[in-house]
Structure 1
Amino acid sequence: MGQLLSATPTTDPETMAAVKDLVAKLIAENVVVVFSKSYCPYCAKAKATLKALGQAFTALELDEIDNGSAIQAYLLELTGQRTVPNIFIKQQHIGGCSDLLDLKAAGKLEKMLA
């Protein structure tokens, strides 16, 4: 029989608990968190938008850390979003780059950040 392939990486329960704790801590302790990949143009645009507003943020580059794929798998479970950037403002998931830009265009982003 063939092996069953999973859409998410198989990670031991201890690692997943650590991933969940890390994500929860980042979201709780930072006004803005961007789960990102260093080579992603949408991530770069989202981070540039926040910088242009003078907004401090924490960015976690998932392609540069060992448990990045496990974090991305957990974010999919948490938010229903598979892609990066995956952005949280004041503990609220807002989505990705286009969602951030839509909030900015509507004049809502600055209010959220205030």
Structure 2
Amino acid sequence: MGSLLSSNKLSQEDTQMALDKVKHIVSSTPVVVFSKTYCGYCNRVKQLFAQLKASYKAIELDQEIKPTIS
């Protein structure tokens, strides 16, 4: 995971903020789907959870605010 974040040239502070946010999300919700709105696999998983009436939180990565990379 570190190499993925570092390949985007995020500052150490931005990386730490992102990791803290992810840790908070996954510790506060039993099931989290990190998704993109156009991903067919993600949409199918969300549909399945809805059909099962399962409680989950979807984080739409393509709708998150992206930091500017200099």
TM superposition score normalised by structure 2: 0.81
Higher RCO (CA < 8 A, seq sep 6+): 2
Structure 2 residue runs without a partner (length 5+): 1-5
Aligned to 1:19: 18
Counterpart Cα distance in 2 of 1:63 and 1:8: 18
Q: Deviations over 1:82-105 (max 9, x none)?
A: xxxxxxxxxxxxxxxxxxxxxxxx
1:49-60, aligned counterparts within 5 Å? 49-60=48-59
Alpha-carbon RMSD across the aligned residues, in angstroms, is 1.7
List 4+ stretches of structure 1 deviating above 4 A.
none
Kindly, what percent of the aligned residue pairs are identical? 31
Counterpart Cα distance in 2 of 1:8 and 1:61: 21
| Residue 66 of structure 1: how far off its partner (Å) | 2.0
Aligned to 2:61: 62
Q: Deviations over 1:41-70 (max 9, x none)?
A: 1100000111111111111111111238xx
Counterpart Cα distance in 1 of 2:59 and 2:52: 19
Q: Deviations over 1:22-50 (max 9, x none)?
A: 10011100011000001111100000111
Structure 1 residue runs without a partner (length 5+): 1-6, 69-114
Q: Over alpha carbons, which structure has the higher Rg? A: 1
Aligned to 2:36: 37
Number of residues of Structure 1 aligned to a counterpart in Structure 2: 62
1:65-80, aligned counterparts within 5 Å? 65-67=64-66
